[in-house]
Structure 1
């Protein structure tokens, strides 16, 4: 009887406290007590940027895009990625699954912004428009990575909050690109200037994304127009170069005039890139005690003897000797006689550079390629803008004719190959080469020139097993060939 009475007392007490129990909790964040004001919206968009992780969607994605290039080999556990005449091994398939998850996590965070921020009243109208535009940009950027890596992919434009909302079939690439363009155009119209935060999207970053997408879709005139807009009207300028180390100014965290958008690193925010490309304590490039030197240059490719030693980018990108702990310069061992150099650590073992998403140099090369394609051959301006990048590479004034200029009279095919070669030199280790070869249809040609064979199945990455198992609209028959 005592227990029954005690139970009744407890029930009565809790019934009397209904209003207390219904109070919105203040000690943790949930959807019910978030998205109330501008501070919440700003915190949410920072969370979307955080989804890009340390190096433009994370090191797994960075190494998969880089190690699918024709100019390098992987070492250790990353060696199988660069065996191009075989299907990916299980470890690399797992890396692809991690990349897929990271991209869709970023998309879901962007969708949460787009679903919830429009309903916030306590927010400045301009701030709201900018935050929504940033979400559109980051969603477009994520889908651009997905469609180029995996082909047809599920499209999700609303926040997934539970398992009931994950069903989505693979959509044709054309439909994915429609969403990317729509998002990027919305971003372009809603974003403003950089405002000192080049790690965040601006209208110029949106224009560069559009130029890149249009180039990939062979919409040559639109690509040329967007690139030209950035060149003529953007607040950027080419960094002056007289010696190879001057190129480091391009990747400076706060002072580069070429930085349209990038992932920044500082003494409190580290990146794995120096660890992957350098030996341990390879001064002055890597001050860390660890170093995998897992990405090895292939001198049988376009970065070998055919690369002119007078091109300052060659010495900036590659090295054959380093300083030991005593400060003596020693050659790299015969087994690994050359390493990549572009990204380095500082004396505290941290990183003080930016990993580019888009930089001003690329606008010139976007324009040169697109304008030539649109006109059936290089125009005078297309040739001039290509030459501006080459002149700078040799230490000349980009705006003045030089002895290294490409001459007029090149046909359309030769000009396209020349632009592709300049892009290879300019954007080494910047996540461009593999997708450049894919979109120009030159994967097998470039790999053959480097003495390698690549199978068709490697042109797309595997759909993760988790997606096949958990998404009712995707099954094994939807898997990319060979996996």
Structure 2
């Protein structure tokens, strides 16, 4: 399932050379002008095979953010996004250990924080690669025209994915919908609403032409499919409080036939990769090409050759109901000199997980896939969208999640919600379920912001509603733009 990502490095090299060649055009008067070859980009987009390779390159920024880029990995929602919430503190060796994460823990992120630049740059690298696909692949002759449509649909999904990460981090950002000429690079910010509209349009294009992996053989696993696009559209709609859209796209998603995998404890184990309830994952593998993820290197205990970051607060631990099997599947205790000493099992390695410590390529090369969208999340988004218009059905979808959580335990463990539950009590039950079902997956902060609860819950930790709903744009980007990019308020 992971073999297709092994071409990423070759394609990344190709595009870097292409970009460099473009940058040198303005210096041609000072260079020897004899041509020894043909332009690389123009020669490349000629065959369906090259289109597939270019698409693989468009996936590469995902792996870079959560894998090979040191500070990019620190900046993921799974790490940077969770720290400072009511669920997790920084952890680590000491209170001051790792200044960028310390800033987030204290809600004092500066414009020069080391996670900001890769978060910005790598997402825009992914957008560049998707724009190259979208501009060039329509000109390639395919015998299989459906595959051409699928490639373009995957690229639309990927561009939406990268922009969604940017807009949730920085607010409104520059919208770049095609490869730019050198004199076009300095693009001003669009509004948050404009960015969301652009993301939705990309996802609509993806939904229209993507197949469901449930109708394909195993070779299709690892790609974005219709289920991934519908799940992402549900999340994009939820974050805008477009509950009617959440319901509409949820109905389309559920009609595909995905089911919850029966045992919650297997979801974040090797055997749980791309399980029946997995809608989208970022693939990683431990190999000599260093195509693994660095997340376990950050969140495992120091005693397990890691950084010891992202420690659970008592509030999260106490949120779980008695004997909820998800507690042990999500959190574990390991002795450490600083922090709460409660760690996230979802991205652990042995002996706290069936994922083994990397035996090649160093500690930043783990095989753990990153689970981005799960069916249980979609069920809870759907329940939240309809809780006030169809409370009995909302209860039904919450109970699907609770029944799976209970597994083979007695009915008194994580008991079903009463079918008569409604109103604020039902909404609170949905909020609870999201917190314990999705803990450690990088969604808590965004859930608090979009539901208007962030100020009440997070102000005790230093959160300011007028500043901290987004992070600052990287100072370097503001400087390079010569005033075209404006900084977020209060930074």
Give TM-score scaled by structure 1 length. Answer: 0.81
- Aligned mates of 1:189, 1:428 — CA distance in 2: 32
- Assess if the C-alpha contact under 8 Å between 1:37 and 1:123 holds in 2: no
Bigger Cα displacement from structure 2, 188-197 vs 411-420: 411-420
SS of residue paired to 1:152: coil
Taking the TM superposition and a 5 Å limit, the aligned residue runs for 1:29-48 are: 30-48=40-58
Pairing 1:238–2:260 present: yes
How far off its partner does 1:66 sit?
A: 2.4
Q: Which residue of the partner structure matches residue 329 of structure 2?
A: 316
Q: 1:434 aligns with which of 445, 448, 461?
A: 445
- Aligned mates of 2:200, 2:274 — CA distance in 1: 31
- Aligned mates of 1:388, 1:68 — CA distance in 2: 31
SS of residue paired to 1:428: coil
**Are residues 409 and 453 of structure 1, via their aligned partners in 2, closer, same or farther at CA, if it must alter by over 3 Å?**
farther
Pairing 1:452–2:434 present: no
Q: Which residue of the partner structure matches residue 61 of structure 1?
A: 75
Q: Which residue of the partner structure matches residue 212 of structure 2?
A: 193
SS of residue paired to 1:52: helix
- Aligned mates of 1:56, 1:226 — CA distance in 2: 28
Pairing 1:340–2:355 present: no
**Are residues 383 and 178 of structure 1, via their aligned partners in 2, closer, same or farther at CA, if it must alter by over 3 Å?**
same
- Aligned mates of 1:281, 1:335 — CA distance in 2: 13
- Aligned mates of 1:134, 1:267 — CA distance in 2: 25
How far off its partner does 1:123 sit?
A: 5.5
How far off its partner does 1:367 sit?
A: 0.9
**Are residues 295 and 429 of structure 1, via their aligned partners in 2, closer, same or farther at CA, if it must alter by over 3 Å?**
same
Pairing 1:307–2:324 present: no
Q: 1:88 aligns with which of 101, 105, 109?
A: 109
Q: Which residue of the partner structure matches residue 8 of structure 1?
A: none
Structure 1 unmatched runs, 5+: 1-20, 283-289, 322-330
1:53-86 CA distance string (max 9 Å, x none): 25658413312222253211113212221102xx
- Aligned mates of 1:141, 1:125 — CA distance in 2: 25
**Are residues 253 and 318 of structure 1, via their aligned partners in 2, closer, same or farther at CA, if it must alter by over 3 Å?**
closer
**Are residues 403 and 426 of structure 1, via their aligned partners in 2, closer, same or farther at CA, if it must alter by over 3 Å?**
closer
Q: Which residue of the partner structure matches residue 19 of structure 2?
A: none
How far off its partner does 1:181 sit?
A: 0.8
Taking the TM superposition and a 5 Å limit, the aligned residue runs for 1:394-473 are: 394-396=406-408, 404-447=415-458, 451-455=460-464, 456-471=466-481
**Are residues 481 and 247 of structure 1, via their aligned partners in 2, closer, same or farther at CA, if it must alter by over 3 Å?**
same
- Assess if the C-alpha contact under 8 Å between 1:311 and 1:394 holds in 2: yes
- Aligned mates of 2:199, 2:54 — CA distance in 1: 21
Q: 1:480 aligns with which of 482, 485, 488?
A: 488
Q: Which residue of the partner structure matches residue 111 of structure 1?
A: 131
**Are residues 336 and 401 of structure 1, via their aligned partners in 2, closer, same or farther at CA, if it must alter by over 3 Å?**
closer
Taking the TM superposition and a 5 Å limit, the aligned residue runs for 1:7-18 are: none
- Aligned mates of 1:247, 1:200 — CA distance in 2: 18
**Are residues 235 and 472 of structure 1, via their aligned partners in 2, closer, same or farther at CA, if it must alter by over 3 Å?**
farther
Pairing 1:150–2:170 present: yes
1:63-117 CA distance string (max 9 Å, x none): 2222253211113212221102xx31466x2311220111111111111111111
Larger Rg: 1
Bigger Cα displacement from structure 2, 260-269 vs 422-431: 260-269
- Aligned mates of 1:113, 1:169 — CA distance in 2: 23
**Are residues 397 and 214 of structure 1, via their aligned partners in 2, closer, same or farther at CA, if it must alter by over 3 Å?**
farther
Pairing 1:211–2:244 present: no
**Are residues 417 and 161 of structure 1, via their aligned partners in 2, closer, same or farther at CA, if it must alter by over 3 Å?**
farther
SS of residue paired to 1:304: helix
1:325-375 CA distance string (max 9 Å, x none): xxxxxx5668643222122223453644321111111121111011115x1
Deviation >6 Å, runs of 4+: 400-403
- Aligned mates of 1:463, 1:137 — CA distance in 2: 24
**Are residues 49 and 246 of structure 1, via their aligned partners in 2, closer, same or farther at CA, if it must alter by over 3 Å?**
closer
- Aligned mates of 1:146, 1:107 — CA distance in 2: 11
1:4-52 CA distance string (max 9 Å, x none): xxxxxxxxxxxxxxxxx65744xxx721211011111111110010111
Q: Which residue of the partner structure matches residue 285 of structure 1?
A: none
Aligned length: 427
- Assess if the C-alpha contact under 8 Å between 2:172 and 2:192 holds in 1: yes
CA root-mean-square deviation: 2.7
How far off its partner does 1:253 sit?
A: 5.7
- Aligned mates of 1:461, 1:425 — CA distance in 2: 26
